Amino acid sequence: MHVGYHRTATSWLQKNVFANPAAGFGWVGKKQPDHPVRQVISLPWSEFDAGVLRERFDALTDPIRAEGHVPVVSFERLSGHAASGGYDSAQIAERLRAVFPEARVLIVMREQRSAILSNYRMYVKAGGAATLRDFLLPATTPNRRVPTFDFRFFEYHRLLERYRGLFGADNVLGLLYEQFVAEPRSYVAAITGFAGRPPAGALLDALPYDQSQHGSPGAAELRALRFLNHFIRSELNPTPALDLRRPHALRKLARSAAAAAVTPKRAASRLERSLRREVEELVGDRYAESNRRTAELTGIDVGRYGWPV
């Protein structure tokens, strides 16, 4: 099971490793709205039945096993979601343990400042209208009626400890996105070896490590999208000023307009620097202690990869 996090090259792994028979794997997918991997998340507690879900998964995994491959459940949402502060992360982990008690678990993490900014870009791309500051510092009360962003979501040691407690320390592998960027062959080899499929050198050499699956909107595009999102109803903005139709077409138009706009390179760079400074200011050194604990749990020198420790 590969449970996330978001923005850690998940799509690349799914396409090039987990859905690659040459690597010895078979990915069960996730696209259908009623796919069992989505129901692990979406079913209310009163309707969740681990036995029923296991039967649905078995229908997907049995053919993979019959071919001699390792079945893979991979969905980044299983680690929670930044926009809702990971409020259901622990519940999802417990549900996965109930459905797959024999599983081995992969968790991929990313340095927090980079992860937060990347997740914010995707929040806007998906319909969010808040500024970066309002996204990171949402209005809340002690009642916490609605899940919102929570900095603690990126204290990775918490999820690592949760999964280690549920599945056993030897059955949980924590890796860094930065390892993939710096040492992609070793990164893939660590994953396949953990799953009992040591890769052939030819496979490692053939993988398209430079292939990007999803682009992130730049600062100028973010401004255009965020403005438009004020007028489109979505899960991330349920009460827009207006409710324009065809949101996907409108967002595509906004992205095209932003791309076509004549934005001096100096101005675009200034906008990007401003976003990064704001993240730096709001994050500070809040993750240093958690990162030290993450380093202990994973055996990885996270400071080597630019993580604050």
Question: Cα Rg for the chain, rounded, in angstroms?
Answer: 20
pLDDT of residue 281: 97
Query: Is the confidence at residue 225, as pLDDT, over 70?
Result: yes
* HSE-CB of 233 using CA atoms within 13 angstroms: 6
- Mean of pLDDT values over 33-37: 97
- Mean of pLDDT values over 194-220: 86
Tell me the Ramachandran region of residue 238: left when phi exceeds 0, alpha when psi lies from -120 to 50, beta otherwise.
Answer: alpha
Distance CA 199, CA 32 (A): 30
Amino acid at 58: D
Binned at pLDDT 50, 70 and 90, residue 8 comes out as very high
232: which DSSP letter? S
CATH code of the domain occupying 10-214+285-305: 3.40.50.300
Mean per-residue pLDDT of the chain:
92
Residue ranges of the chain assigned to CATH 3.40.50.300: 10-214+285-305
pLDDT of residue 253: 65
- Mean of pLDDT values over 213-230: 84
**Residue 208 or 245, more confident:** 208
**Residue 100 or 246, more confident:** 100
- Going through 196-268 in order, the beta strands assigned E by DSSP cover none
Residue with tokens 């020198």: 301
Mean pLDDT check: name the lowest of 27-41, 128-142, 179-193, 249-263: 249-263
**Residue 257 or 144, more confident:** 144
Cis previous bond, 187, omega within 30: no
Structure tokens at 183: 């040492």
Structure tokens at 145: 């009626």
Question: Model confidence over 37-91: pLDDT tens digits?
Answer: 999 999 999 999 999 999 999 999 999 999 999 999 999 999 999 999 999 999 9
- Going through 153-284 in order, the beta strands assigned E by DSSP cover 172-176
Question: Who contacts 268 (Cβ-Cβ below 8 Å, separation ≥6)?
Answer: 218, 219, 220
